[in-house]
């Protein structure tokens, strides 16, 4: 059955080779030092040595291989066959143990529970049903385990393409929003395509209610900066800091650390 979730697979399959070659993902540097995790994520994840970690929506695997390089036993999930193929090859090249699952995260049913479930940066906008997503997390989280989530703040969804004014509704009816003539967020000169994506602009209450209804308790923190310079009209907080802000102090990311 074709769902709105799976309609985006061809886009992500097309983006994988573009992303692998892009400066945004800096693959040559990653191969020398397989650690793409941001400082905030490392702080929230804590000691990974020997932990069983489930990484949802892993793309082509840089962050998940970073988790494994830090000592975790990682299972990574993504619905793009091209992403899983590339991630598997990268893991073999770097000799980092890897277990990859090619599946829609909303349909995930693994015969295992995990110490940590990790999900990050630009993922929930591709999911049609956050209640179903939260139930997947509950089903796979050990008692005493933790959900660690870092995500772009949904406030950003209302800004126009130049990040200068309001362009979209924050409150929505839950339907997919169609974006035509899209380029990948890496702004690569190799990206010659034009893509149509189907995305969900979930308000923060959707995330809070979905996790609460699934019986997951959590602490949430909002941040007035982005760990990625992937939006227009941002400036780096200080040279080499790797954090970027808008001229107004707006919420740009949020994190959640939760448990059953």
* Structural domains counted in the chain: 1
Q: Would residue 69 count as lying in a domain?
A: yes
pLDDT tens digits, one per residue of 78-118: 999 999 999 999 999 999 998 999 999 999 999 999 999 99
Distance CA 54, CA 157 (A): 27
What distance in Å separates the CA atoms of residue 106 and residue 133, rounded to the nearest whole number? 5
Q: What is the CATH number of the domain that holds 206?
A: 3.40.50.150
Within a domain: residue 170? yes
Does residue 243 fall inside a structural domain? no
CA distance 171 to 177: 12
The predicted structure's pLDDT at residue 4: 52
Phi and psi torsions of 91, nearest 5°:
-60, -40
* Reported pTM: 0.94
Q: What is the pLDDT of residue 167?
A: 83
Task: Output the pLDDT for position 102.
Answer: 95
Task: Report yes or no: 249 and 222 within 8 Å, Cβ to Cβ.
Answer: no
Q: How high is the pLDDT of residue 63?
A: 96
Tell me, yes or no, whether 247 lies in a domain.
no
At 1 the pLDDT is: 37
pLDDT digits (tens, 9 = 90+) for 156-179: 988 888 888 888 888 777 788 888
Residue for token pair 């769902």: 3
Regions of the chain with pLDDT less than 50: 1-3
Angle between helices 9-21 and 81-94 (to 10 degrees): 30
Residues 6+ apart with CB under 8 A from 130: 124, 202, 206, 207, 210
Q: Are 246 and 163 in contact (CB under 8 A)?
A: yes
Query: Which residue matches tokens 């970073």?
Result: 66
Residue-level pLDDT at 254: 98
**Beta bridge pairs of residue 154:** none
Residue 39: C-alpha distances to residues 62, 72, 78, 156, 229 (Å):
15, 17, 24, 22, 15
- Domain of 172, in residue numbers: 4-224+253-259
In a domain, residue 208? The reply is yes
209 domain-assigned: yes
Pick the closest to residue 73 from 142, 157, 167, 134 (CA basis).
Answer: 142
Q: How many degrees, rounded to 5, is the angle at CA 131 between CA 127 and CA 134?
A: 85
Asked whether residue 217 is domain-assigned, the answer is yes
Q: Whose CA is closest to 127, among 106, 147, 149, 108? A: 106
Residue 96 resides in a domain: yes
| Predicted pLDDT of residue 2 | 41
């Amino acid at each position: 059955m074709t769902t709105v979730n799976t309609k985006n697979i061809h886009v992500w399959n097309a983006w994988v080779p573009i992303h692998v070659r892009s400066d945004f993902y800096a693959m040559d540097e990653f191969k020398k030092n397989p650690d793409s995790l941001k400082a905030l994520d490392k702080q929230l994840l804590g000691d990974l040595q020997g932990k069983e970690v489930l990484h949802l929506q892993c793309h082509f695997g840089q962050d998940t291989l970073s988790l494994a390089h830090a000592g975790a036993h990682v299972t990574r999930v993504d619905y793009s066959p091209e992403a899983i193929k590339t991630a598997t090859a990268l893991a073999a090249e770097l000799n980092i143990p890897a277990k990859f699952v090619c599946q829609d995260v909303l349909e995930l049913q693994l015969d295992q529970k995990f110490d940590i479930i990790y999900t990050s940066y630009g993922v929930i906008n591709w999911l049609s049903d956050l209640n179903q997503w939260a139930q997947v997390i509950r089903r796979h989280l050990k008692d005493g385990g933790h959900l660690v989530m870092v995500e772009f703040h949904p406030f950003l969804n209302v800004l126009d393409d130049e990040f200068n004014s309001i362009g979209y509704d924050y409150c929505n009816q839950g339907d997919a929003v169609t974006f035509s003539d899209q380029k990948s967020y890496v702004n690569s000169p190799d990206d010659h395509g034009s893509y149509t994506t189907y995305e969900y602009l979930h308000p923060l209450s959707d995330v809070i209610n979905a996790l609460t209804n699934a019986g997951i308790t959590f602490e949430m923190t909002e941040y007035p900066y982005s760990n990625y310079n992937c939006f227009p009209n941002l400036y780096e907080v200080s040279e080499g800091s790797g954090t970027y802000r808008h001229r107004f102090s707006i919420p740009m990311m949020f994190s959640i650390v939760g448990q059953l």
